[in-house]
Structure 1
Amino acid sequence: MTEPGQSNGGFWRSLRSGNFNSAIASMRGAQTAQQLAFIRSQMKDNRRPEVLGTPLDELEVVVFDLETTGFNHQHGDEILSFGATKVIGEQVIENETFHMIVNSGAPVPPFIAELTGITQHMVDAAPPLMEGLHDFMAFIGGRVLVAHAAAHDRGFLNAALWKTSKVRLTHRLLDTMMLAQRLYPEQKDYSLDELLRSSGIPVEGRHHALSDARMTARLWADYMQEIQARGHATTLGDLYVYLSEA
């Protein structure tokens, strides 16, 4: 491997001196290196066993949703936007929300633009994916995550985290669809729209990440109330046991 021209001189000087972190910062830019370090730090200690003893009426979660360029991250689809809101127990914290459109480098298909309202122009003007992940992880902290049909969101988050930071999501992630299936086994349709309808929650702004996160948060709050009222669970650990018995 030969040293390139002077444009990357800072990288090679740092590398020769043994300062690998400085070398990476020089190569990627200090801001990107700081974002990378932060994201990696957020992946530590997110499955502490003591969290399982947290009472459900005190449990802090972040309910989130992603809008994406398609439905399969394995075929090149990417994240377009993040939306999230915090919930404590059964209370949705309406003024603690997160929403961000990002530029992941993938074009926005016309049908996705029509569905989500996110245009190519909006994406072109948006911050890069790394910045979006950094800010999203800062909003989450070490809280438990909640999503509807969570496998979809987990897959896209893991793909984005690996692409940018070579890490995987380590946060606990619960699924409102799984909760609904456990609470209401007789129900035939567990789509978000149908569960919102059956719970009497107004459907507003579907396929906008923050709107979907807010509506899912209301579902989560309702389900937490129902689970405790039925005596199925009082702590996060109890909730995992309840879900495992399905």
Structure 2
Amino acid sequence: MKEPMKGNGGFWDALKGGGISPRIASMLGAPSAQQIAFVRSLTKGQRRPETLHVPLSQLKTAVFDLETTGFHYHYGDEILSFGAVKMNGEEMTGEVYYSLCKPACSVPERIVELTGITQEMAQNAPALLQALREFMAFVDDRVLIAHGSAHDKAFLDVALWKTTKAHLGHRVLDTMMIAQKLAPDRKVSSLDDWLRVYEIPILQRHHALEDAKMTSSLWQAMIGQLRERGVITLGDLYHFLSKT
């Protein structure tokens, strides 16, 4: 994504320099400036090399899902809701996050039917920066996991750039990619398909938190299968996924 031009002494230059001047903060309002700085701080230093040596059975992760107004962020589609579940290895900690998010665009009728999120619900939801701040604070420095992660990662990265001029720095694992590598003969890709393969009950679909919960069950089941293949650490998993 091409970065917009920045002026000398401007807001984004102040952020890039690692701080926000009192003058800039007063222009925007301290709470907003503080939120932006906080979110930026959470996008840095998330790819520590030592994480590669952590066993998957001990890896701290946050399984997440987003609902969006459509599939094309470059044509103006935006995030409608965030859902996330914390896991320590194969254990679900019971800590969850969910929030609606107010988009700048309208909610298409097909998305209302799919997600149950109406235009009124969206308009009364928290602003993108607030929901994003809460989501990033929740996931902290954990490895992120999503099913079909390209969609969610792209929307999350665009939202971060739009609000804070930062990029997502977290490692992101894709349960769809891992499942396909574990069972290459199965020509399926959707979350529904893989939930059926692993005999995980399909509950409420197209709800960010419920999808994140079901994806966490999928990840939980795959850790054992990966262990049987000799895939013990996060580094082993990257190596496993890279093999042709």
TM over 0.5: yes
**Counterpart AA for 2:237:** L
What's 2:82 paired with?
A: 82
Report the more deviating stretch, 132-141 or 20-29.
20-29
**Counterpart AA for 1:242:** F
**2:223 matched to 1:244?**
no
What's 2:8 paired with?
A: none
Give the Cα–Cα distance (whole angstroms) in 2 for the partners of residues 30 and 79 of structure 1. 25
> 1:104 aligns to what SS in structure 2?
coil
Give the Cα–Cα distance (whole angstroms) in 2 for the partners of residues 230 and 53 of structure 1. 17
Give the Cα–Cα distance (whole angstroms) in 1 for the partners of residues 20 and 134 of structure 2. 25
> 2:21 aligns to what SS in structure 1?
helix
- Aligned positions of 1:6-25 closer than 5 A: 21-25=21-25
Give the Cα–Cα distance (whole angstroms) in 2 for the partners of residues 20 and 210 of structure 1. 34
- Aligned positions of 1:220-231 closer than 5 A: 220-231=219-230
Give the Cα–Cα distance (whole angstroms) in 2 for the partners of residues 177 and 114 of structure 1. 25
Identity %: 53
**2:136 matched to 1:144?**
no
Give the Cα–Cα distance (whole angstroms) in 1 for the partners of residues 71 and 144 of structure 2. 20
**2:37 matched to 1:51?**
no
**Counterpart AA for 1:235:** T
Deviation at 1:30, TM superposition (A): 1.3
- Aligned positions of 1:130-141 closer than 5 A: 130-141=129-140
**Counterpart AA for 2:235:** G
**Counterpart AA for 1:67:** E
> 1:193 aligns to what SS in structure 2?
helix
Question: Any stretches of 5+ residues in structure 1 without a counterpart?
Answer: 1-10, 12-18
Give the Cα–Cα distance (whole angstroms) in 2 for the partners of residues 20 and 212 of structure 1. 37
Q: Which digits, 9 at most, give the CA deviation of each residue in 1:2-47, with x for residues without a partner?
A: xxxxxxxxx9xxxxxxx95222222222111111001110111111
- Aligned positions of 1:172-211 closer than 5 A: 172-211=171-210
Deviation at 1:55, TM superposition (A): 1.0
Q: Work out the number of aligned pairs and report it.
A: 227
What's 1:171 paired with?
A: 170
> 1:34 aligns to what SS in structure 2?
helix
**Which protein is bigger by CA-based radius of gyration?**
1
Question: Any stretches of 5+ residues in structure 2 without a counterpart?
Answer: 1-10, 12-18
Give the Cα–Cα distance (whole angstroms) in 1 for the partners of residues 23 and 221 of structure 2. 50
Task: Indicate how the Cα distance of structure 1 residues 148 and 230 shifts in structure 2: closer, same or farther if over 3 A, else same.
Answer: same
With normalisation by structure 1, the TM-score equals: 0.90
Give the Cα–Cα distance (whole angstroms) in 2 for the partners of residues 224 and 90 of structure 1. 7
Deviation at 1:229, TM superposition (A): 2.1
Question: How big is the alpha-carbon RMSD for the aligned residues of Structure 1 and Structure 2?
Answer: 1.3
**Counterpart AA for 1:128:** A
What's 2:63 paired with?
A: 63
